[in-house]
Structure 1
Amino acid sequence: MKSRDRRRGLVLVNTGTGKGKSSSALGMVFRAAGWDMKVCVIQYIKGQWQTGEQKAAERFDNIEWHAMGDGFTWDTKNPEQDIKTSREIWEFSKAKILSGEFDLVLLDEINYCCGYNWISGEEIADFIRDQKPSWTHLILTGRNAAPEVISCADTVTEMTKIKHAFEQGIKAEQGIEF
């Protein structure tokens, strides 16, 4: 593994309406963990919903996992609570990134929070530019990535939906969606 003083910490954004944003990021999580990097996964939306990737991460001693959201918030009945929760997770995320403990941090579905104006893209971009340790890799996922975040990222991938099983009435499948 490259020493931190020789590493250029990349900022990656996975966005768009297509499937695979978190899955791609989790591939990088497990890749980094395989290289003995210390990894932190922070989920903004999924809440306490058990996923296969979280179960797999439990087998690694170098992956720290935090599923912190209130669940799927597009059906929210309490937007004030969603804003409060998102702000708390953002503060927690910044502390984890600044701790110096992690080589890679995944902020899973944080882009949704920008899309709902719960956390501003400018605030996230300012933190990335001004405070993120230079050697820390950072991945941000979710639809509607803020233009400011896209601008400060090193790599941005937009997943485009062509067809999705859900549109055919097929519910989320274990091992595929969770």
Structure 2
Amino acid sequence: MKSRERRQGIVLVHTGEGKGKSSSAFGMVFRAAGWGMKVCVIQFIKGQWKTGEQEAAKRFDNIEWHALGDGFTWDTKNPEQDIKTSRAIWEFAKDKIRSQEYDFVLLDEINYCCGYNWVSGQEIADFIEQEKPPWMHLVLTGRNAPQEVIDVAHTVTEMKIIKHAYKQGIKAAQGVEF
């Protein structure tokens, strides 16, 4: 593994309507952990659901996992609570990044928070430019990535739906979606 002094940290954004944003990021989480990097995963939306990737991460001593969201929020009954939770998770994420303890940080589903105007894209972009350590890799996932975040990222991938099992009546599958 390259030392921090010799590493260029990359900011990546996975966005779009298609499947695979978080899945791709989790692949990078395990790749970084495999190289001995200290990894921090912070989930903004998914909440306390049991997932295969979280179970797999328990097998690594260099992956720290935080599933902090209130769950999927498009049918929320309490938007004030969703805002409060998202703001608290964002503050937690900034503290983790500022700690400089991690080589790789994943902010899973943070883009949704921007789409709902709970955290501004400009606020995230400013933090990345001003406070992210230059050697740290940072990945942000979720639909509707704000333009300000896209502008400061090094790599942006938009997932596009061509065909999806859900539209054929197939429910989320263990091992594929969770």
Identity of aligned pairs, percent? Answer: 79
- Aligned equivalents of 1:90 and 1:8: distance in 2? 24
> CA RMSD of the aligned region, Å?
0.4
Report the 3-state secondary structure (helix = DSSP H, G, I; strand = E; otherwise coil) of the residue aligned with 2:74: helix
- Aligned equivalents of 2:133 and 2:69: distance in 1? 25
1:98 aligns with 2:98: yes
1:68 alignment partner in structure 2: 68
Q: Structure 2 counterpart of 1:167, which letter?
A: K
Correspondence list, 1:10-159, <5 A: 10-159=10-159
- Aligned equivalents of 2:36 and 2:131: distance in 1? 24
Q: Structure 1 residue 142: deviation in Å?
A: 0.2
1:162 alignment partner in structure 2: 162
Aligned residue-pair number: 178
- Aligned equivalents of 2:165 and 2:80: distance in 1? 32
Q: Structure 1 residue 75: deviation in Å?
A: 1.1
- Aligned equivalents of 2:71 and 2:132: distance in 1? 27
Q: Structure 1 residue 168: deviation in Å?
A: 1.3
- Aligned equivalents of 2:58 and 2:137: distance in 1? 21
- Aligned equivalents of 2:81 and 2:127: distance in 1? 24
Q: Which runs of 4+ in 1 moved over 2 A?
A: none
- Aligned equivalents of 1:164 and 1:11: distance in 2? 28
What is the TM-score with the length of structure 1 in the denominator?
A: 0.99
Gaps of 5+ in 2: none
Q: Structure 1 residue 169: deviation in Å?
A: 1.3
1:35-80 deviations in Å (ceiling 9; x for gaps): 0000000000000000000000000000000000000011111111
